[in-house]
Structure 1
């Protein structure tokens, strides 16, 4: 599998994959295309707030990941937040999720912690994440959209 940063030419691929992601049990709601467009633009312009990655297998687009980077006092250093990870169903079951995490943990070996959100219904992802060493926190997250 090849993992690379988004390029300008990946816009339509990202939009298609993101729309598919938001219609799976990985999320509980859809988002406006304007959010996707803004995220993609930030990623290709190398914003310090978001990194967009395309997952390729055999020369085909197999999925994508979005990362956010910040500092965490709780863990004493860099926090890598896996905002989104999507593997197209046609490519699932081939070890791409595991390969992505191998890449992530190597790429960000200096990170103090890795974090992600997962819906209770997304049992396959939970199994993958637990095999990678993730564990549920004893508290719940909250959000206030602005």
Structure 2
């Protein structure tokens, strides 16, 4: 596996990964219309290009194929905006490698934050096993559907 900074040419493959991951994971506890609207809104070509230019994107490649990515927003705080691995490549430590690669690029930060759907037990467990702690939970409106969400924090120093 190889991790590198994403380029504009990677955006179609990033879109494939996020679509596969969202439909595989979130259809278990969200309406299909919510998942589709989320993906069409947050992962359309224009929005993805803006995110690529305004934040840090890393991709993981295996077998000459993009199999995962992580998107980090660094401003006053370090925020993990998205991290997804193709369902066919999950449970191979790709998500862990992406997270570690991302966090090592921002050593000046003392903490990192991530929001996770609390119904996504695999993601909650993933972040907790890597030192993130639940700060608070709240209901989030996602296109008319209430999603129980947790804000997690990890001390980096």
Check conservation: 1:63, 1:85, Cα contact below 8 A.
Answer: yes
Q: Distance in 1 between matches of 2:141 and 2:135?
A: 16
TM-score, normalised with respect to structure 1: 0.76
Quote the RMSD (CA, aligned, Å): 2.6
Q: Distance in 1 between matches of 2:39 and 2:87?
A: 23
TM-score, normalised with respect to structure 2: 0.72
Can you list the C-alpha shifts for 1:50-106, whole angstroms capped at 9, x where unaligned? 2222211232211112221221xxxxxxx2211111111111111112212221221
1:65 to 70, 74, 90: 70
Q: Distance in 1 between matches of 2:137 and 2:127?
A: 18
**Higher fraction of helix:** 2
Structure 1 residue ranges (4+ consecutive) displaced by more than 4 angstroms after TM superposition? 141-145
- Pick which of 98-107 and 25-34 moved more: 25-34
Check conservation: 2:18, 2:85, Cα contact below 8 A.
Answer: no
Q: CA deviation at 1:142?
A: 6.0
1:51 to 49, 56, 59: 56
Counterpart in 1 of 2:19? 19
1:1-146 paired onto structure 2 within 5 Å: 1-23=1-23, 24-25=25-26, 28=30, 29-30=34-35, 31=38, 33=40, 35-36=42-43, 37-44=45-52, 46-47=53-54, 50-71=55-76, 79-138=77-136, 140=138
Q: CA deviation at 1:116?
A: 0.7
**Higher fraction of strand:** 2
* Structure 2: runs of 5 or more not aligned: 144-157
Size of the alignment, in residue pairs? 135
